Structure 1
Amino acid sequence: MTSVVEIGRGGFGVVSKANLANIGLVALKIIISKNSNELNESNDDFVKEVEIAIIL
């Protein structure tokens, strides 16, 4: 069974915690955007965030 619980909201969208069968706990970030220009900027910022998380 999969359970998903919202754990926060921020500038990019919603962050949730999910417990996936056969995988375990994962974090989900669902990016919410109002227009295509904002989406392009959000994607660039999100890629930077992921690159920093990988280093940590």
Structure 2
Amino acid sequence: MSFPYLAQREDQQQLEWIGGSVFSVLLDAEATGGQLTVGRFDVSKGEAPPFHVHNNEDALP
């Protein structure tokens, strides 16, 4: 059995996002058995994407 590991800030993958924002990967697909990715946006007020779900875009074959 494996346990998901929440990476510490210095170990998190940092992705440049729209408008100079940053998306930090907290849990990736590898850590969750391909089930999900969890991230955090560091953006200016009002710039974050709204809550949403990807139902088909990220489906595994």
How does the TM-score come out when normalised to structure 2?
0.40
Flag the structure with higher strand content. Answer: 1
How does the TM-score come out when normalised to structure 1?
0.41
